[in-house]
Structure 1
Amino acid sequence: MAETPAGTATGLPARRAAMGMIDAVLRRGQRFDALPAHGLAPSDEGLARAIAGEVFRRLPDLDALIDSATAQPLPGDAKARTVLRIALVQTLVLGTPPHAAIATALPMVEGGPKRLVHGVFGTLMRRGSLLPEVPTLPEAVRQRWGAAWGYAMLGDAARALAVPPPLDLTLRDLNEDGGVGGEDIGTGQRRLPRGHNVADLPGYAEGHWWVQNLSAAIPACLLGPGNGRTVLDLCAAPGGKTMQLAAAGWNVIAVEQHAKRAERLRENLARTKLAADIQIGDVMTWVPAAPADAILLDAPCSATGIFARHPDVLHRIGPKDIAALAGLQTRMLARAADWLAPGGRLVYATCSLEPEEGEKIVTASNLVIDPVGAHELPPGVVPAPEGWVRILPVPGRDGFFMARLRRP
């Protein structure tokens, strides 16, 4: 992503916003995608998010470069370190000329160690320093995932982190793609290279498809055709799975706690000309009017499986967060299971790479696994011997866990 050099005055708002975003994630643990844009022009917001996103994607390697050029390591939360991260990402990843990157960096340390920032950046440029093609995962993440899945998995995860993933689309009708084309990747999906403006693609306005990663599209498929039966889609927004279920002939009751997210779900349903009964409610207090034939619980989770699209998760999620979310998931699953009609099935899913949010939740429940067959899954995805599905990340595929369950 090359950037045309801009004057210092016009370039500063985006850089300052990027610095604020990095601080919000690393120091306060806020979600990157939920951070406000602070009234920036669209072009400035796009640049700010590109800078901050690449800092999160390459943070250990950026810090290793910085530390190689200082006599004493800078504190992790030092403004000078953050400014250097921003300047280096612009030059080494986004294609900004070094003189433009440092010109917009130095004003951000006004009254601080400008000479240090200038000196470290200049030293690294003179050395011809580069970032590795495959990013380094944070050490805490390496230890956690290596213990859970083996260290061979870490190479695939690092390669998945290297670049944002391609664009996966789920078709409303398997026989009509609206002219969007792309690679057929199974489960009624197409894949396009990243970088498209989604709203400009053929078939978007007509509702022929919606954006949904391959892994995220599998859980709804495990419930099969609806044939007019009722399914509860819990924690439903933004609605990819709701639309899948509606397109498969289910009578969908979509439960979403947050009104703003529910509004986005309504917009997606209207665009795709699909129907669902949207109910605003917290799964832990909401009660259905009658038992359901099927339930899809895509539970709130750490989202560590979607790190390739949201690399900030690698730096703000730790063991305490995972334990707290696992407790919530356990309670949600137990509550939802009581809403199944006799013979009904429940799919539990999380976009997490933590066994505490997947395998351990299902194993500790009172539900029985309804094994998933290999024929139900897209190429490259296989069920585990236990009958559930654990998807480990590779380039272009998110990490996910899902299990189809029934009451004993």
Structure 2
Amino acid sequence: MVLTSNSSAKPAHHQKRRPSGGNNDEHYSNEEWKPGLAARVAAVKILSAVLDKKTSLDGMLDAENGNPAYRALSLPDRALVRAIVNSALRHLPRIEAALAMLLDGPLPQGARSLHHVLVVGAAQMLYLDVPDHSAVDLAVEQAHRDPRNKRFVKLVNAILRRLGREKDSVVQAIGEVPVLPDWFYGRLAKIYGKDAANRMAEAQLVPSVIDVTVKSNPDLWAEKLNGTVMPNGSVRLDAFEGSVSALEGFNDGEWWVQDFSASMPVRLMGDLTGKRVADLCAAPGGKTAQLILAGADVTALDQSGNRLKRLRENLNRLKLEAETVEVNMLKFQPEELFDAVLLDAPCSSTGTLRKHPDVCWTKDKQDIAKLAGLQEQMLRHAVTLVKSGGTIVFSNCSLDPSEGERMVAQVLASDPSLERVPTLASDFPGLEIAINADGDLRTTPDMFGGVDGFYAAVLRKR
């Protein structure tokens, strides 16, 4: 998609006026606005919220409850904002390295707004199909309109124009800079090795693909949807653009969107025919649907009423049924124990950077440690919900062993009622690379042409 900086789309009340909404609109003058300026202002606001306030990007880009400056824009300008912010976050260390090459010294203290204006301008010039002159002109205009940055107008103009002139040499010079924050890249390198860390970092730059799980006959649906059957039975859509809901079979409930890796935990559970199974953190319901199709009698739990409502809507479209319970799983005490439980636990989501590039900028080591503690508590409670001989599958989309391998090992070492059930690579042809030495599932973003990083372990209660 070619993104033009002078989009004819206008926010509410016409684009030449200052857009309504936003926490910092008071910084900008009320003079007439150039076409495209409101989108850049929104991009800077959102980038600032992610980097400085650790705010989730998904929430700010929500069409109904997102950032007011974003919601004031037309649909084409919203798409432009998403492209700018996503590109800025994916390439941020390289963009900052490029700007550092062109600056005589660091930016003045307290110039974070100026930093974000320069990053937004550079992201368009380096990584999007926006004409350099338009990106520069609108960055200069934005600086001019903001009293915090007005004295830096000449600097913004000089730096971005120089970036345009020297783009080829700059791109070459920054090509080896890891595209992840230092804390996260260093953690990956220590855990997986530098080469693997580099592969994972580069993998998050590749546009995210769409995988779907089908009720039956993956080969048929791969043909109908112009897709490819993956080794695990998922169907990957090839070169897809447009609305997923417009594709054949969606309204009929024949398939649902689910990442390759996210579909694996249920596939590890074996024969579930006639078994009572609890999905302990069930929304939005992809794994619940898999459990039902595998023949299980499913109870789906979630502590959020809104998320549980979404799960029910998804199951209705798929023409599937499950008992649903709105409850914090840590407080759940069933009248009868289950044959199996699936705990897809909340985590740092560091395996989902292809879809959510803000994660490594809004999370840190302390978040990982805190979440690992919660996951251990949840796993220990999950064990109490199954019968003797029952199965517990623990999973999440974190790349960090603190939230996966190490946490599970700690629980196994301290609970004699539990044993690991190793997954055999021979049972999953084509997926051998994703089965670790202990027989747990471990995917990383550089596998299988791009997937979420995921961990899953199968345990049995003695």
Fold similarity call, TM over 0.5: yes
1:106 corresponding residue in structure 2: 140
Q: Is the 8 A contact 1:164 1:194 kept in 2?
A: no
Structure 1 residue 392 corresponds to structure 2 residue 436: no
Give per-residue Cα distances to partners, 1:200-222, cap 9 Å, x unaligned: 22211111111111111100111
SS in 2 for 1:284: helix
Give per-residue Cα distances to partners, 1:222-264, cap 9 Å, x unaligned: 1123212111111111111111111111111111111221122
> Which deviates the most, 363-372 or 177-186?
177-186
What amino acid sits opposite 1:120 in the alignment? I
Give per-residue Cα distances to partners, 1:114-141, cap 9 Å, x unaligned: 1111111011111124546686222211
Selected match of 1:183 from 220, 228, 231: 228
CA distance in 1, matches of 2:376, 2:49: 30
Matches within 5 A, 1:143-158: 143-158=186-201
What displacement does 1:187 show?
2.6
Selected match of 1:32 from 57, 68, 73: 57
Matches within 5 A, 1:375-386: 375-377=426-428, 379-380=430-431, 381-386=433-438
Matches within 5 A, 1:315-354: 315-354=361-400
What displacement does 1:76 show?
8.7
Q: Is the 8 A contact 2:279 2:342 kept in 1?
A: yes
Distance 1:37 1:228, change over 3 A: farther
Runs (4+) of structure 1 exceeding 6 A deviation are none
What displacement does 1:375 show?
3.5
Q: Is the 8 A contact 2:94 2:175 kept in 1?
A: no
Distance 1:76 1:187, change over 3 A: farther
SS in 1 for 2:330: coil
- Structure with greater Cα Rg: 2
Matches within 5 A, 1:230-241: 230-241=276-287
- In structure 2, stretches of 5+ residues that fail to align are 8-32, 61-65
Matches within 5 A, 1:205-224: 205-224=251-270
Distance 1:263 1:76, change over 3 A: farther
CA distance in 2, matches of 1:194, 1:143: 34
SS in 1 for 2:402: helix
Selected match of 1:267 from 289, 313, 325: 313
What displacement does 1:331 show?
0.4
Selected match of 1:88 from 99, 122, 130: 122
Instruction: Give the number of aligned pairs.
Output: 408
What amino acid sits opposite 2:430 in the alignment? P
1:6 corresponding residue in structure 2: 6
Give per-residue Cα distances to partners, 1:88-122, cap 9 Å, x unaligned: 11222221101211232223322211111111101
What displacement does 1:77 show?
6.2
CA distance in 2, matches of 1:20, 1:378: 47
Q: If the length of structure 1 is used for normalisation, what is the TM-score?
A: 0.95
Q: Is the 8 A contact 2:204 2:445 kept in 1?
A: no
CA distance in 1, matches of 2:110, 2:370: 26
Give per-residue Cα distances to partners, 1:372-393, cap 9 Å, x unaligned: 1114436244422212122222
Give per-residue Cα distances to partners, 1:253-308, cap 9 Å, x unaligned: 11111122112211211111111112111112222232111111000000001112
Give per-residue Cα distances to partners, 1:321-350, cap 9 Å, x unaligned: 001001100100001110001211010001
CA distance in 1, matches of 2:199, 2:287: 27
Distance 1:37 1:376, change over 3 A: farther
CA distance in 2, matches of 1:213, 1:104: 38
What amino acid sits opposite 1:68 in the alignment? M
2:43 corresponding residue in structure 1: 18
2:93 corresponding residue in structure 1: 60
What amino acid sits opposite 1:172 in the alignment? K
Distance 1:227 1:51, change over 3 A: same
What amino acid sits opposite 1:290 in the alignment? E
What amino acid sits opposite 1:282 in the alignment? N
1:312 corresponding residue in structure 2: 358
Q: Is the 8 A contact 1:174 1:188 kept in 2?
A: no
The percentage of counterpart residues that share the same residue type is 36
What amino acid sits opposite 1:371 in the alignment? P
1:281 corresponding residue in structure 2: 327
- In structure 1, stretches of 5+ residues that fail to align are none
CA distance in 2, matches of 1:88, 1:378: 45
> Which deviates the most, 235-244 or 131-140?
131-140
CA distance in 2, matches of 1:205, 1:46: 25
1:161 corresponding residue in structure 2: 204
2:421 corresponding residue in structure 1: 370
Structure 1 residue 42 corresponds to structure 2 residue 91: no
Q: Is the 8 A contact 1:66 1:81 kept in 2?
A: no
